[in-house]
């Protein structure tokens, strides 16, 4: 028996993009930095929280690119001649991406106590019944 890819299954018409989406998500950097939470705040809304201690609002960029929420962080090196005996607080750049489903909108982003909160809302899908007329050929 031949193994079929998800996008080529005969009963899943028009889902080729879903397979590409799964591949793109699997390739996403998974180094664990910065740590994050995803919570469902109500039936149609979510909140992503990233631990970005040491980053200022101006060090962060939030964009939506090709159906993906992309958060980038880059700290400026402001050591100002300081000499560190130990530097355990990470000051590295990062990029974290989250693939968004159709109908998911990015709301506001709020920085609070070293945590970046990004709110997402999902529009409730419309239930449409369509009748197709049959023409004589």
Task: Please name the helix (run of DSSP H) or strand (run of DSSP E) that holds residue 27, with its range, or none.
Answer: helix 16-27
Binned at pLDDT 50, 70 and 90, residue 95 comes out as very high
**Is residue 25 predicted with pLDDT exceeding 70?**
no
The C-alpha atoms of residue 119 and residue 137 are separated, in whole angstroms, by 52
**Is residue 118 predicted with pLDDT exceeding 90?**
yes
Class of domain 31-76+86-125: mainly beta
β-strand pairing of 104-112 with 115-122 = antiparallel
What average pLDDT score do residues 67-85 get?
Answer: 84
Q: Where are the domains of the chain?
A: 31-76+86-125
Beta-ladder partners of 80: none
Whether pTM > 0.85 for this model: the answer is no
């Amino acid at each position: 028996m031949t193994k079929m890819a998800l996008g080529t299954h005969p009963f899943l018409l028009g889902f080729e993009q879903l397979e590409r989406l799964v591949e793109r998500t699997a390739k996403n950097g998974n180094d664990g930095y910065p740590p994050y939470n995803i919570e469902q705040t109500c039936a149609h809304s979510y909140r992503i929280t990233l631990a970005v201690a040491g980053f200022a609002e101006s060090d962060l960029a939030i964009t939506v690119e090709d159906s993906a929420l992309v958060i980038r962080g880059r700290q400026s090196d402001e050591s100002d001649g300081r000499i560190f005996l130990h530097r355990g607080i990470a000051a590295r750049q990062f990029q974290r991406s989250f693939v968004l489903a159709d109908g998911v909108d990015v709301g506001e982003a709020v920085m609070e106590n070293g945590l970046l909160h990004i709110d997402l809302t999902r529009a409730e899908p419309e239930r449409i019944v369509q009748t197709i007329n049959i023409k004589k050929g």
